[in-house]
C-alpha cells in the first residue's frame, strides 16, 4: 500500500513536471530545450559513515540534485528531513531553476539534503554529520559551481560548519577565496545582515504588493500560517507589524487557533522553550490538524513542506489569497480548486524568492570582500522583488493566465533565450 509520505513526495515531482509541461505547451517551447529542462543535469547520492556520541557508527544518505546551470552556478538549499529522497530533491531543484530565472539572478537550480530527523541527534552529532557530508560531496559543490543554503531543519550554524569544512580542505593560501561556497551563514562568519529574515520579508512584501494592487488594506486582515520556522515566523512578524492578525498556526507537532489573535513574538518566545513546537501554547486553543485549513481567515500562508494543499483540502480554504512561503505547497489539482473558488495564489517561485535574492547578495558580498548593511540589503531586496512581482502581474494580465503560469512563462523563456543564444555544445 502507498503510504501518505510516499504519495506526498511523488506528488511534488509530478506537480513540477505538470506545471512545466503545461507552460512548455503554452509557449511552444523549443523541443530540444524542453528535453534538456525535463531532465536534471546531475543527481548525486552519497552514503557516508558518521561516529555517534556513543561510539556506534551510522551510515547516512545525502543527496544533491543539480537541475540546470544555463544561467549560472547551481543554487539551492539543503534539507534535513526523513522524507528527503531523489524524487523530492529533483522537484525542489527544478523549482530553484525557475525561481532564480524568474527574479533575474545569474544562478541555476539545485537542491539537496540528508534523510534524517535532526531531533534524534545531538548538536555534536549534527556537526559531524554535516561536515562529513560536505567532505563527501567534495568538488560537487563550490563557490562558482554549486552553492547550498539553509532549508527545512537547517540553519546558519550548519552553513558555518559547511563553509568551514569546505575552506579547511583547500590550501591555506586560497581558503578565504571560498567563503561563498554556501550562503545563509551567521553574520560573524561571512553571513549577510538580514539573510535570516529575507524569505519571510519577501513573502510579506509579495502579499503587500498583491493587496495594494487589489485595493485591499492589510490592517485587520486575518491570516493563518502552516510552519512556524524561519519562513513562517518572519512572514508573521512583518504581517503583524503591518496590522494583520495571526489567527491559526500549524507545525510538525500540532495546530492552534485563536480568532482574536495570536501574538507572534510571544509564540516565538514560547517555542524557544518548547523544543521548537507550538503545542500547548497557553494563549490559543488546540485544534485538529484536519481543521487547520478550514479556519476562517483572509490570507493563508503554507510555509512548511510540499504538497500540503491538495484536492483533499483545497475546497475548505476560506481565504481570498494563498501566499506560498513553502516550495511546492499546492498540488496542481489543489490549485485548480482554489482558482475556481476565486482564490488568488502567489506562486512559490515568486513569493519566497526573497531568500535566494538575499543569498545572491551574500555571495556577492563574500566574492568582493565587502560587508553590506541591513538597510541596504532590505532596500535592494525590495527593489528586485517588486520588479519581478510587477512583471508577473503584467504577463498574467497580457496573456490572461494565473500568476503561476505567468511566472513560469517568464522563467522558462529566459532560459530558452540563453540556450538559443549560445547553442548546444558541440
Ligand atoms: P524550518 O525548518 O525553519 O521550519 C519548518 C517549519 O515547518 C517548522 O515549524 C516545522 O515544525 C513545520 N513543519 C514540518 N513538517 C510539517 C508538517 N508535516 N505539517 C506542518 N508543519 C510542518 O524551515 P524553513 O526554512 O522555514 O522552510 C519552510 C519552507 O519554506 C520549505 O518549504 C522551504 O523549502 C521553503 N523556503 C525556505 C527558504 C529559507 O530561506 N529558509 C527559502 C525559500 C523557501
Whether 3 has a pLDDT exceeding 60, the answer reads: no
Q: Which atom of ligand 1 is nearest to the CA of 232?
A: 26
Residue 132 resides in a domain:
yes
Q: State yes or no: pLDDT of 225 exceeds 50.
A: yes
Give the total number of structural domains in the chain: 2
* Among the ranges given (6-10, 52-56, 371-375), the one the predictor scored with the smallest mean pLDDT: 6-10
Check whether residue 176 and residue 202 sit in a common domain.
no
Q: What is the pLDDT of residue 6?
A: 56
Distance 231 CA to ligand 1 centre (A): 7
Average of pLDDT values for 324-335?
Answer: 97
Q: What is the pLDDT of residue 11?
A: 85
Instruction: Report residue 2's pLDDT band, with 50, 70 and 90 as the boundaries.
Output: very low
Reply yes or no on whether the pLDDT at 356 is more than 80: yes
Mean pLDDT of 145-149: 98
15 within some domain: no
Q: Active site residue: 75, 111, 208, 221, which one?
A: 111
> Quick one: 223 and 111 in the same domain?
no
Give the residue, 6 or 380, on which the prediction is more confident.
380
| % of the chain beyond a pLDDT of 90 | 96
**CATH of residue 56:** 3.40.50.10860
Long-range contacts of 363-372 (CB under 8 A, 24+ apart): 363/143, 363/147, 363/180, 363/183, 365/190, 365/192, 366/143, 366/179, 366/180, 366/190, 367/143, 367/180, 372/192, 372/193
What percent of the chain is modeled with pLDDT above 70? 98
Residues 168 and 248 in one domain: no
Ligand 1 probe mutation, 305, 313, 329, 359, most atoms within 8 A of CB: 305
Same-domain check for residues 317 and 242: yes
Does residue 191 lie in a domain region?
no
Q: What's the pTM value of the predicted model, to 2 decimals?
A: 0.97
Mean pLDDT for the stretch of residues 109-137: 98
Whether residue 279 sits in one domain with residue 161: no
In the annotation, is 4 catalytic?
no
pLDDT at 123 over 90: yes
- Whether residue 115 sits in one domain with residue 49: yes
Instruction: Choose between 277 and 2: higher pLDDT.
Output: 277
Average pLDDT over residues 6-13: 70
170 falls within a domain: yes
Domain range for 169: 41-180
Residue owning the nearest CA to atom 15 of ligand 1: 252
Which of 329, 351, 373 is the C-terminal boundary of a domain? 351
Tell me, yes or no, whether 306 and 237 share the same domain: yes
Domain boundary among 351, 375, 406: 351
* Mean pLDDT score across all residues of the chain: 96
My answer on whether 175 and 204 are in the same domain is no
Question: Based on the domain organization, do 209 and 172 belong to the same domain?
Answer: no
Residue 184 has pLDDT above 60, yes or no: yes
CATH code where residue 333 lies:
3.40.50.720
pLDDT reported for residue 9: 58
Mutate which of 237, 303, 363 to test ligand 1's pocket (most atoms within 8 Å of Cβ)? 303
- Domain end among 303, 320, 351: 351
**230 occurs within a structural domain:** yes
pLDDT digits 0-9 by tens, 259-287: 999 999 999 999 999 999 999 999 999 99
Q: Decide if 16 is inside a domain.
A: no
Residues 202-214, mean pLDDT to the nearest whole number:
98
275 and 346 in a common domain: yes
130/47 same-domain check: yes
**113 occurs within a structural domain:** yes
Q: In the predicted model, is pLDDT for residue 234 greater than 60?
A: yes
Do 92 and 207 reside in the same domain of the chain?
no
**Is 70 a domain residue?**
yes
Average pLDDT over residues 238-259: 98
Pocket of ligand 1 (CB under 6 A): 150-153, 199, 226-232, 250-252, 303-305, 325-327, 352, 355
Written as nine digits, the cell of 111 is: 537542491
pLDDT at 176: 87
Place 1 in a pLDDT band, splitting at 50, 70 and 90. very low
pLDDT of residue 10: 60
Amino acid at each position: 500500500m502507498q503510504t501518505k509520505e510516499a504519495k506526498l513526495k511523488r506528488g511534488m515531482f509530478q506537480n513540477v513536471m505538470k506545471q512545466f509541461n503545461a507552460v512548455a505547451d503554452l509557449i511552444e517551447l523549443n523541443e530540444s530545450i524542453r528535453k534538456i529542462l525535463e531532465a536534471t543535469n546531475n543527481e548525486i547520492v552519497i552514503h557516508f559513515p558518521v561516529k555517534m556520541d556513543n561510539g556506534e557508527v551510522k551510515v547516512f544518505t545525502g543527496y544533491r540534485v543539480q537541475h540546470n546551470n544555463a544561467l549560472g552556478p547551481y543554487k539551492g538549499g539543503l534539507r534535513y528531513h526523513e522524507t528527503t529522497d531523489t524524487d523530492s530533491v529533483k522537484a525542489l531543484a527544478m523549482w530553484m531553476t525557475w525561481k532564480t530565472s524568474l527574479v533575474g539572478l545569474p544562478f541555476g537550480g539545485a537542491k539537496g539534503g540528508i534523510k534524517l530527523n535532526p531531533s534524534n541527534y545531538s548538536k555534536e552529532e549534527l556537526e559531524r554529520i554535516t561536515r562529513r557530508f560536505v567532505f563527501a560531496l567534495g568538488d560537487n559543490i563550490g563557490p562558482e559551481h554549486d552553492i547550498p543554503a539553509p532549508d527545512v531543519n537547517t540553519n546558519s550554524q550548519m552553513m558555518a560548519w559547511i563553509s568551514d569544512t569546505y575552506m579547511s580542505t583547500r590550501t591555506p593560501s586560497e581558503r578565504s577565496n571560498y567563503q561563498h561556497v554556501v550562503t545563509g551563514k551567521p553574520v560573524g562568519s561571512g553571513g549577510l545582515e538580514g539573510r535570516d529574515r529575507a524569505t519571510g520579508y519577501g513573502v510579506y512584501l509579495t502579499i503587500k504588493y498583491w493587496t495594494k494592487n487589489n485595493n485591499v488594506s492589510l490592517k485587520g486582515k486575518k491570516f493563518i500560517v502552516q510552519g512556524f520556522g524561519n519562513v513562517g515566523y518572519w512572514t508573521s512578524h512583518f504581517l503583524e507589524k503591518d496590522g494583520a492578525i495571526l489567527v491559526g498556526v500549524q507545525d510538525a507537532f500540532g495546530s492552534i487557533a485563536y480568532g482574536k489573535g495570536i501574538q507572534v513574538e510571544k509564540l516565538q518566545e514560547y517555542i524557544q522553550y518548547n523544543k521548537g513546537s507550538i503545542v500547548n501554547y497557553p494563549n490559543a486553543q488546540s485544534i485538529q490538524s484536519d481543521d487547520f485549513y478550514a479556519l476562517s481567515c483572509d490570507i493563508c500562508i503554507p510555509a512548511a513542506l510540499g504538497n500540503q494543499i491538495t484536492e483533499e483540502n483545497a475546497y475548505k480554504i476560506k481565504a481570498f489569497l494563498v501566499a506560498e512561503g513553502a516550495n511546492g505547497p499546492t498540488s496542481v489539482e489543489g490549485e485548480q480548486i482554489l482558482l475556481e473558488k476565486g482564490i488568488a495564489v502567489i506562486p512559490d517561485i515568486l513569493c519566497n524568492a526573497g531568500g535566494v535574492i538575499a543569498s545572491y547578495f551574500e555571495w556577492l558580498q563574500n566574492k568582493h570582500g565587502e560587508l553590506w548593511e541591513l538597510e541596504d540589503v532590505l532596500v535592494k531586496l525590495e527593489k528586485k522583488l517588486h520588479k519581478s512581482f510587477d512583471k508577473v502581474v503584467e504577463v498574467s494580465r497580457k496573456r490572461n493566465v494565473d500568476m503561476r503560469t505567468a511566472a513560469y512563462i517568464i522563467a522558462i523563456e529566459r532560459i530558452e533565450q540563453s540556450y538559443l543564444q549560445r547553442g548546444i555544445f558541440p
